Structure 1
Amino acid sequence: MQKTRYQRIESVLSRRQTDLTVCLEDVHKHHNLSAIVRTADAVGCHHVHAVWPEKQKWLTNNTSGGSKNWLDTHLHKNIDDAAASIRAHNPDVQILATHLSEDAVDFREIDYTKPTAIIVGQEKTGISEKALEYADQNIIIPMQGMVQSLNVSVAAALILFEAQRQRELAGLYNRNMLSEQIKHPMYFEGCHPIIARQCKQKNLPYPALNEHGEIVADEQFWQALKHT
């Protein structure tokens, strides 16, 4: 295994932001889902929430470019469950809704160094009235042209990268927020996907990795892995 692969994963996971998340309310077009998930990964989010029909398949690696494998995705039946989950993870979170209203503010006026969740709505109808009840603040992206709104994935990207900009200036990407218990499976699956798949099939725990990302395991583990 190449050392650079392990180092890249280690660098990415050490900068994950567990207190910055996005919630997709009934966003159903896969190209939008994929774009938002990729952006969330790019800015270092660890959690993504989505109100999503139980019987419909979530993103595949083909549509998300593998980004979904590096995020902790929470699928919910409705916005009530999504909001409850977001609040349970961090009671101090500010929930923002992308919605044009009298009290809406420019998205750049928000302090994104605070624990933040951003709700983005369905492509045609936007954010539901129920979701707006959970929002602490409505935000808008100012428009200077004839159009009154942006594609949902573009809007999410603008807001998330503003959050990244503020957090970088504040040094929040130096906190190393993920525990080793959370990071180890991600290290292992990222560095050794074939063996990880075999471990899952045989219900074997992932063995330890050394500082180079190489597997540290006894003969018993390797024999168990070979056993059919």
Structure 2
Amino acid sequence: MTPERYQRIRQMLDARQTDLTICMENVHKPHNLSAIVRTCDAIGVDHVHATWAEDANRLAGGTATGSQNWVTVNSHNNIEDAVKAMRAAGMQILATNLSDSAVDFREIDYTKPTAVLLGQEKYGISDEALALADQDIIIPMVGMVQSLNVSVAAATVLYEAQRQRSLAGMYQGPCKVSEQEQNRILFEGGHPIFAKACKRKGLPIPAIDDQGQIVADEEWWSKMQMSQDAWQHLDDE
């Protein structure tokens, strides 16, 4: 990894907002999923949550591929499990929904740990999800339509969150990402060829030093040079 690459990844990690996230409930169009994940990376969101109408990860390909290298997608079987995970992290749960109790999205304090629920393109957020939210939010519109594309809505809300957090100095260190996760991202983002081989061979992720270089013992390097069958055979002896 070049020094420039190392510094760029480090700067990205230092700006990550680990207590800000998006939860997509059955959002199913690949281009919307891709756009949302891409925006999350741009904002500094390091992980998102999703539930799927079918047992499939719809982010397997497409334009989100590059962004997926930097944003972790946590899949859940249902919306209750997703909200439970976000509440365990101390987050306020906001639902993008037109209702009598909804407030302008700009009235929310996004410097608090926050999760934003986004619903399926055609039907919106389910009643089940709405019942789990703390507050409905709306994006004011004066035209004939009453809703934005889900990826546009996500970007609009997230950039308001970024604005508030920037004013509060929340994009300046210290880094909020765990050291283990930092090391993983530095390895996978800075040494992609080794990372793929490491995963293929079932090797542990090595340490990355403050110059961005791999720190591993001779056994790790030896196994990296061998086929998976070869080194596993040695382990069995």
TM-score over 0.5 (shorter chain): yes
Q: Quick one: which amino acid aligns to residue 95 of structure 2?
A: A
| Cα offset, 1:14, TM superposition | 1.3
Secondary structure of 1:147's counterpart equals: coil
> For residue 211 of structure 1, what is the aligned residue in structure 2?
210
Contact kept? 1:106, 1:140, Cα under 8 Å: yes
> For residue 126 of structure 1, what is the aligned residue in structure 2?
124
Q: Greater CA deviation, 131-140 or 202-211? A: 202-211
Contact kept? 2:19, 2:114, Cα under 8 Å: yes
Correspondent of 1:164 among 150, 162, 165: 162
Closer, same or farther in 2 for the Cα pair 1:56/1:199, shift >3 Å? same
Deviations 1:38-67 (A, max 9, x none): 111111112200011453233135330411
Q: Greater CA deviation, 50-59 or 142-151? A: 50-59
Secondary structure of 2:74's counterpart equals: strand
Q: Quick one: which amino acid aligns to residue 107 of structure 1?
A: F
> For residue 182 of structure 1, what is the aligned residue in structure 2?
181
Secondary structure of 2:93's counterpart equals: strand
Correspondent of 1:113 among 111, 114, 127: 111
Q: Quick one: which amino acid aligns to residue 109 of structure 1?
A: E
Matches within 5 A, 1:32-71: 32-53=32-53, 55-71=55-71
Deviations 1:173-228 (A, max 9, x none): 12411121111011000011111111122222222222221222333322111122
Does 1:23 pair with 2:23? yes
> For residue 147 of structure 2, what is the aligned residue in structure 1?
149
Q: Structure 1 CA distance, aligned partners of 2:220 and 2:86? A: 38
Contact kept? 2:197, 2:224, Cα under 8 Å: yes
Q: Structure 1 CA distance, aligned partners of 2:77 and 2:166? A: 34
Deviations 1:54-99 (A, max 9, x none): 5323313533041112122110111111111111222xx1110000
Contact kept? 1:54, 1:77, Cα under 8 Å: no
Q: Quick one: which amino acid aligns to residue 2 of structure 1?
A: T
TM-score normalised by L of structure 1: 0.94
Q: For this pair of structures, how many residues does the alignment match? A: 226
Q: Structure 2 CA distance, aligned partners of 1:73 and 1:217? A: 29
Q: Quick one: which amino acid aligns to residue 4 of structure 1?
A: E
Secondary structure of 2:81's counterpart equals: helix
> For residue 230 of structure 2, what is the aligned residue in structure 1?
none
Q: Greater CA deviation, 145-154 or 200-209? A: 200-209
Q: Structure 2 CA distance, aligned partners of 1:20 and 1:6? A: 24
Contact kept? 2:38, 2:64, Cα under 8 Å: yes
Correspondent of 1:139 among 137, 151, 169: 137
> For residue 231 of structure 2, what is the aligned residue in structure 1?
none
Secondary structure of 2:154's counterpart equals: helix
Percent identity reads 60
Closer, same or farther in 2 for the Cα pair 1:121/1:4, shift >3 Å? same
Runs of 4+ in structure 1 over 3 Å off: none
